[in-house]
Amino acid sequence: MKIKIRNLLMTFSIGAFAVSTVASVGQAEEEFLPQPVVGDPIGGLTETELLRFDTGRALYGTPLFIEDGLGPVLNKSNCRSCHSNPDGGPGNIEVTHFGIVDKGEFTPLPGGTLLQLVAIGAGCEETLPPQANFTTNRITPGMLGYGLVEAIPAADILANEDPNDADGDGISGRANLVPTFNPNAPGEVEPGRFGWKSIIANVITFSGDAALNEMGLTNQIFGDETAPNGDETRLALCDDIDDPEDHPDRDGFTFVDRVTHFQRYLAPPPQAPRSGMRGETVFNDLGCNSCHVASFTTGSVTFDDQPIETALEGRIVRPYSDFLLHDMGTLGDGLPQGDATGNEFRTTPLMGVARRLAMIHDGRVNSGSIEDRLHQAIMLHGPFGEGADAAAAYANADKDAQYDLFRFLKSLGRTDFDQDDDDQITMFDFDDFVACASLDLVVTPDDPCGVHDIDQNGMLDEVDLQSFLLAFEGENGDCDGDGTSDLEAIFFGAPDEDGDGVPDDCVACPGDFDGNGMVDGGDLGLMLVGWGRCPGCSQDLNGDGTVDGADLGLMLVYWGVCP
* One-character DSSP codes across 434-462: HHHHHT-----TTSGGGGG-TT-SSS--H
Contact 510, 520 (CB under 8 A): no
Q: According to the 3-state scheme, what is the secondary structure of 45-69?
A: CCHHHHHHHHHHHHHHCCCCCHHHC
Q: 3-class DSSP state for residue 473?
A: coil
| CA pseudo-torsion sign 312, 313, 319, 321 | positive
Is the pLDDT confidence value at 5 over 80?
no
CATH of 507-563, picked from 3.20.20.70, 3.30.70.270, 3.30.450.20, 1.10.1330.10, is: 1.10.1330.10
Q: Is 53 exposed, middle or buried (0-12, 13-18, 19+ CB in 10 A)?
A: buried
Q: What is the pLDDT of residue 518?
A: 86
Q: Are strands 134-139 and 105-107 parallel, antiparallel or unpaired?
A: unpaired
Q: How far apart are CA 290 and CA 162, in angstroms?
A: 11
**Under 8 Å CB-to-CB from 197, ≥6 apart: which residues?**
176, 325, 335, 337, 338, 340, 344, 345, 346
b/e sequence 468-491, b meaning 16+ C-beta within 10 Å: bbbbbeeebbbbbbeebbbbbbbb
Give burial (CB, 10 Å; 0-12/13-18/19+) of 415: buried
Which amino acid, residue 126? Answer: E
Sign of the C-alpha dihedral, residues 435, 436, 439, 440? negative
* Tens digit of each residue's pLDDT (9 = 90 or more) over 225-255: 999 999 999 999 999 999 999 999 999 999 9
- pLDDT grade, residue 184 (50/70/90)? confident
pLDDT tens by residue, 287-313: 999 999 999 999 998 776 788 999 999
Q: What is the pLDDT of residue 447?
A: 97
Count the neighbouring beta carbons within 10 Å of the beta carbon of residue 13: 11
- In the 8-state DSSP scheme, what is residue 116? -
279-283, 307-311, 480-484, 504-508: which has the minimum mean pLDDT? Answer: 504-508
Cβ pair 375, 168 in contact under 8 A: no
Mean pLDDT of the chain: 91
Dihedral angle sign, alpha carbons of residues 90, 95, 100, 103 = positive
Span of 42-56, 176-190, 401-415 with lowest mean pLDDT? 176-190
pLDDT band (50, 70, 90) for residue 508 = low
Q: What are phi and psi of 376, to 5 degrees?
A: -60, -45
Helix, strand, or coil (residue 114): strand
- 176 pLDDT band, cuts 50/70/90, is very high
34 cis-preceded (ω within 30 degrees of 0): no
DSSP state of 359: B
Question: Who has greater pLDDT, 93 or 304?
Answer: 93
pLDDT at 517: 77
For residue 507, name the pLDDT band (cuts at 50, 70, 90).
low
Give the angle 417-423-426 at the CA atoms, nearest 5°.
60
Cα(333)–Cα(311) distance, rounded to whole angstroms?
37
CB 81 within 8 A of CB 93: yes
What is the rounded CA–CA span in Å between residue 408 and residue 402? 10
Instruction: Decide: helix, strand or coil at residue 544.
Output: coil
Tell me what percent of the residues of the chain surpass a pLDDT of 90.
79
CA-closest candidate to residue 9, choices 1, 18, 20: 20
**Are the C-beta atoms of 245 and 253 separated by less than 8 Å?**
no
Asked whether the beta carbons of 434 and 491 are under 8 A apart, the reply is: yes
Rounded average pLDDT over 309-319: 96
The closest alpha carbon to 243, from 214, 223, 216, 267, belongs to: 223
CA dihedral 245, 250, 253, 256 (to 10 degrees): -40
Amino acid 29: pLDDT: 53
Contacts 24+ apart (CB under 8 A), 255-258: 255/59, 255/64, 255/68, 255/211, 255/217, 255/219, 256/204, 256/207, 256/208, 256/211, 256/217, 256/219, 256/220, 256/221, 257/204, 258/52, 258/55, 258/56, 258/59
96-144 tens-digit pLDDT? 999 999 998 999 999 999 999 999 999 899 999 999 999 999 999 999 9
3-17, 78-92, 293-307, 335-349 — which is least confidently predicted?
A: 3-17
Residue 196 CA to residue 343 CA, distance in Å, equals 12
| Domain spans of the chain, in order of start | 5-55+268-410, 60-158+184-264, 507-563
Overall average pLDDT of the 205-220 stretch: 97
Q: How confident is the model at residue 16 (pLDDT cuts 50, 70, 90)?
A: very low
Low-confidence winner among 106-110, 194-198, 431-435, 475-479 (lowest mean pLDDT): 475-479
Report the C-alpha gap between 256 and 206 in whole angstroms: 9
What is the reported pLDDT for 10? 29
pTM of this structure: 0.85
* Cβ count within 10 A of residue 189: 16
Average pLDDT over residues 387-398: 98
The pLDDT value given to residue 9? 30
